[in-house]
Structure 1
Amino acid sequence: MTDEKKLNSNNNKRVGVEFISGSLSGAVTRFFVAPLDVVKIRFQLQNTTKTGNKLYTGVFQALTKVTKEEGFRALWKGNLSAELLWISYAAVQFSTYTQILALIDKNYRGGHSFLFNGITSSFLQIVPQMAFQFTFYESFKYILVNYSNDKNQALKNPFNQFFCGLLSGAFSKFLVLPFDVVKKRLQVSNKAKYSIIQCMSDLYKNEGGIKSLFKGGVPSIMKAGLAAALSFTFFEQSKLFFLKIFK
């Protein structure tokens, strides 16, 4: 039986394994990045006019301040609902993505460089960060594997997965950060009609120019990098583990 026929016959099993692996990855990742998410949102929502004092000035200062004033558990505020969201989201995201990648690989041999062509304008409007993140991850992984003597082992190496995930998460978050800041502001705004352009304009004029569109940049990028690193590593390693069990 050819490798392609084996892949087709085991497709249902692989989808199940990828779904379970994605769920575990989402649960573990969300738990570890929750404190950075709490800090990130507080940075993005604090008003930093020229005369105003900043409540939060740095990641570690913010973590310490929240812990002292609200208790250690405050760093995981709202985490239960977020856990449920991440579990379901990661399960669908990873299982869908790997199936799409498998289908594309049947028609495109010779690497994953084609992924750069997949970032169409419509895709960017729907899921910009995920489009960038998966593109960067597969591209960094492809580069590492090509410079490795043992390509199969390089693909399974958790350190490679963590490193590629870290870079992909950080870079993709940086590219969409202004939209994340605006999204948070729109969510808490009490203005009936407040457009994205108006929000960006107000931030730029009143809160420090272009820097205001990257508020909370450090915790945001730290969180995104760590989340992607953990997500990809746990997913890849869980998938390898379960595929061995269900052979």
Structure 2
Amino acid sequence: MSGTTERLKDEGSRLQVTAAGATAGLISRFVIAPLDVVKIRLQLQTHSKTSPSEHKPIYRGTLQTLRHIVEHEGITGLWKGNVPAELLYICYSAVQFTTYRSATLLIHQTVGENRLPHVTESFIAGAASGAAATAATYPLDLLRTRFAAQGNDKIYTSLQRAVLQIGRDEGFRGFFRGLGPGLAQIVPFMGMFFAVYETLRPTLGQLDLPIVGVGGGAALAGMTASVVAKTGSFPLDLVRKRIQVQGPTRGRYVHKNIPEYQSTVGTVRTILKHEGIRGLYRGLTVSLLKAAPASAVTMWTYEKALRFYMALGEKKVGDM
């Protein structure tokens, strides 16, 4: 198969898909790191719906949060947690795209090719890839959140010290705080993302859309898919972040008043009781601002990287 209508999951060898996914994750993460830090800070910020003056919010909106971080923590504050985040995105993207391809091939072997509706097949493969990547890389996600949540009063001075400290004070389970809502969020998110992306890509990929940027139609498909999926699954992402910063260091982050949460359901109930429905969507705006370019960069870089690695592989075969 060839051309822009080729399906993403049917292209390339396993190694080429893994390398392309890792490359896409590395570049995408660095580009959107500042917005990711802003999103995490807003998600962890509580604000009582009954007493607005109680625990006056530090951050008010995306731009104000960006300015506040730069003013009080310097420009490097916008890249806090970037080391574990880069490792997370590289590993996550590699596992995600590899599992997506493998899950699709497994569906073809067990059910038959073209036996399931295209959207259904993409949803199943996307959900499986998201669950596998989340579980495999979750400790890095937790470390990313904790580094992004700490201010000038550093709790963790390095990645190595953080791993040792969490392991000592919280045990092995400490690295997986919030995994439940993480899986509950990522399965529908990745399912919806790939279903929408695979549906739009064949059509949009053929369009010349310079306004979108270097990614053209493929970038627009990725942006649209990300916005739809992120909005639908955002509350569980917020719950995951709140649970990730539980433990002995809970009161030492930028937000000193993070409540104590015990479970996914209990966290949702507490947020609804004290912050209202809006409390479940804190940081959604910046999350969408982050998700759209991140997905566009990820999918466009993945497509280009995969073709580069495939061409490189063909060149090596031709030279033999």
**Which TM-score bucket, shorter chain as reference?**
0.7 to 0.9
Moved more, 169-178 or 91-100: 91-100
State the 1:102 CA deviation: 5.0
Q: Which has the higher contact order (CA 8 A, sep 6+)?
A: 1
Query: Of 219, 224, 227, which aligns to 1:167?
Result: 224
Other-structure match for 2:79: 76
**Aligned mates of 2:311, 2:44 — CA distance in 1:** 46
Instruction: Summarize deviations over 1:184-223 as a string: whole Å, max 9, x none.
Output: 112223588722222112211211x111111111111222
Change (3 A) 1:103 1:120: closer
Other-structure match for 2:155: none
Q: What's the TM-score, normalizing by structure 1?
A: 0.81
How much is the aligned-residue C-alpha RMSD, in angstroms?
3.2
State the 1:70 CA deviation: 0.4
Change (3 A) 1:95 1:118: closer
* C-alpha contact (below 8 Å) 1:22/1:94 kept by paired residues: yes
The equivalences for 1:65-104 within 5 A come to 65-101=68-104, 104=107
* C-alpha contact (below 8 Å) 1:133/1:172 kept by paired residues: yes
- SS class of match (1:107): coil
Instruction: Summarize deviations over 1:44-74 as a string: whole Å, max 9, x none.
Output: 1112122232211111111111011100011
Does residue 127 of the first structure (1) align with residue 194 of the second (2)? no
Query: One-letter code of the match for 2:274?
Result: N
Other-structure match for 1:241: 308
**Aligned mates of 2:264, 2:114 — CA distance in 1:** 39
Count of residue pairs the alignment pairs up: 230
Query: Of 102, 108, 112, which aligns to 2:114?
Result: 108
Does residue 199 of the first structure (1) align with residue 270 of the second (2)? no
Q: What's the TM-score, normalizing by structure 2?
A: 0.63
* C-alpha contact (below 8 Å) 1:44/1:184 kept by paired residues: yes
Query: One-letter code of the match for 1:236?
Result: E
**Aligned mates of 2:42, 2:79 — CA distance in 1:** 16
Instruction: Kindly indicate which of the two structures has a greater share of residues assigned to helix.
Output: 1
- SS class of match (1:127): helix
Change (3 A) 1:192 1:71: closer
Other-structure match for 2:318: none
Instruction: Summarize deviations over 1:151-182 as a string: whole Å, max 9, x none.
Output: xxxxxx93111111111111111111111111
- SS class of match (2:13): helix
Change (3 A) 1:137 1:196: same
Other-structure match for 1:137: 197
Change (3 A) 1:142 1:101: farther
* C-alpha contact (below 8 Å) 1:37/1:223 kept by paired residues: yes
**Aligned mates of 1:233, 1:67 — CA distance in 2:** 30
